[in-house]
């Protein structure tokens, strides 16, 4: 199996540790000692070797990707001239893999998700690989743990009993659903047949490129030119990529391909998956200490302080009588927020941008 790791995003929700010149996926957000993209690669150990890994990221991050992932061949770190959402990035990776292995199976992964139970994750990917070999696109359906209104959902259909029996189960996909309202999300959770759509899936590259050709002909034509140019010298291939890319439609794989794809399957995943979409998510990923504080990193001394999330830097952090705070300390910025208001990090970032303080972003 190959893997294509999507690493093009530049989120602001994990500011101040995630920065424009050093986005979330290239940062150690969970305090594990590994950046999120390194942890993504680590998680594939025994399943996908470095020689079979592809990374798709923005041109400004080529250096970060090469330094952080030295085992991946440099020409498998694919650089998008600009961000065009997930469908073009996945198409680009599939084109490159198809040149090596026309029916190669690829796991499409995000570079900035936390998945604590790596063994369960690999088991689900292996199961998805079986479904993909049969010509389907197998998406991982993340077993929901609460009625989240920020994710799309997948409704499973019948069990795919034409596949060899095994664990985890494989189901057809009855429907991809948009982000629900609270009541709908609660009904999904109670029903048990709905999964979070984490955007992780496994398919044959020829199957994916055929779906792109059927559903997104403009993207398919552009990918065809990029593919043809790869037969020539590298300078020419790069020039074609840069000339073709700006006109490529900005479209997600969900809207552009998955919702209209023919044989879609889903493999349930219960592995503590978390997209770490804001600082308060660390609580779901880290183990609390005796005072129920989650310390991702740093030297913390607490007195009467509980339920806090701390990502420290070099200095000592003393907490006195505080609860439900998020504290993120970096060399130039200190963020202190209430756990339930961390979505407002974006507002702070926007205000700093409006003030022209790009050195802090």
Would you tell me which residues interact with a second copy (CB under 8 A)? 16, 301, 303-304, 312, 314-322, 325, 327, 329-338, 340-342, 344-345, 347-348, 351-352, 360
Closest approach of Cβ 348 to a second copy, in Å? Answer: 5
Here the tokens at position 246 are 């700006």
Closest approach of Cβ 14 to a second copy, in Å? Answer: 13
Residue partners of 316: CB distance under 8 A and separation at least 6: 299, 300, 301
Nearer to a second copy, 11 or 152 (CB): 11
Closest approach of Cβ 327 to a second copy, in Å? Answer: 6
Nearer to a second copy, 208 or 310 (CB): 310
Residue partners of 100: CB distance under 8 A and separation at least 6: none
Nearer to a second copy, 100 or 315 (CB): 315
Closest approach of Cβ 20 to a second copy, in Å? Answer: 15
Closest approach of Cβ 309 to a second copy, in Å? Answer: 12
Nearer to a second copy, 165 or 314 (CB): 314
Question: Does residue 11 contact residue 24 with C-beta atoms inside 8 Å?
Answer: yes
Closest CA to 216 of 173, 246, 255: 255
Question: Does residue 339 contact residue 280 with C-beta atoms inside 8 Å?
Answer: yes
b/e 204-217 (16+ beta carbons within 10 angstroms → b): bbbbbbebbeebbe
Nearer to a second copy, 147 or 298 (CB): 298
Here the tokens at position 168 are 């985890």
Question: Does residue 204 contact residue 172 with C-beta atoms inside 8 Å?
Answer: no
Question: Does residue 156 contact residue 266 with C-beta atoms inside 8 Å?
Answer: yes
């Amino acid at each position: 199996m190959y893997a294509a790791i999507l690493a093009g995003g530049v989120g602001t929700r994990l500011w101040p540790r995630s920065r424009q010149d050093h986005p979330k996926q290239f940062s150690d957000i969970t305090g594990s000692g590994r950046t999120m993209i390194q942890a993504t690669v680590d998680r594939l150990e025994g399943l996908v070797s470095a020689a079979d890994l592809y990374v798709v990221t923005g041109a400004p991050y080529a250096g970060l990707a090469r330094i952080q992932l030295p085992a991946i061949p440099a020409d498998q770190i694919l650089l998008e001239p600009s961000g065009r959402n997930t469908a073009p990035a996945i198409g680009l990776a599939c084109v490159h893999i198809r040149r090596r292995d026309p029916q190669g199976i690829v796991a499409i992964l995000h570079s900035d998700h936390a998945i604590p139970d790596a063994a369960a994750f690999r088991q689900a990917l292996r199961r998805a690989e079986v479904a993909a070999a049969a010509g389907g696109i197998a998406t991982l359906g993340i077993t929901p743990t609460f009625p989240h209104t920020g994710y799309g959902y997948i409704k499973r259909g019948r069990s795919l009993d034409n596949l060899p029996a095994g664990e985890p189960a494989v189901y057809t996909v009855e429907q991809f659903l948009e982000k629900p309202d609270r009541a709908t999300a609660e009904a999904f959770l109670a029903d048990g047949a709905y999964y979070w759509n984490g955007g992780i899936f496994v398919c044959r590259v020829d199957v994916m490129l055929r779906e792109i050709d059927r559903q997104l002909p403009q993207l398919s034509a552009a990918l065809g030119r990029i593919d043809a140019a790869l037969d020539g010298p590298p300078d020419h291939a790069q020039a074609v990529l840069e000339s073709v890319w700006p006109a490529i439609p900005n479209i997600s794989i969900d809207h552009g391909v998955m919702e209209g794809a023919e044989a879609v399957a889903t493999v349930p995943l219960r592995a503590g998956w978390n997209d770490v979409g804001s600082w308060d998510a660390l609580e779901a990923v880290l183990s609390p200490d005796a005072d129920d504080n989650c310390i991702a990193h740093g030297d913390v001394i607490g007195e009467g302080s509980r339920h806090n999330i701390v990502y420290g830097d070099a200095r000592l952090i003393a907490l006195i009588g505080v609860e439900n705070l998020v504290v993120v300390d970096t060399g130039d910025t200190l963020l202190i927020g209430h756990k339930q208001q961390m979505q407002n990090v974006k507002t702070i970032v926007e205000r700093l941008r409006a003030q022209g303080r790009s050195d802090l972003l």
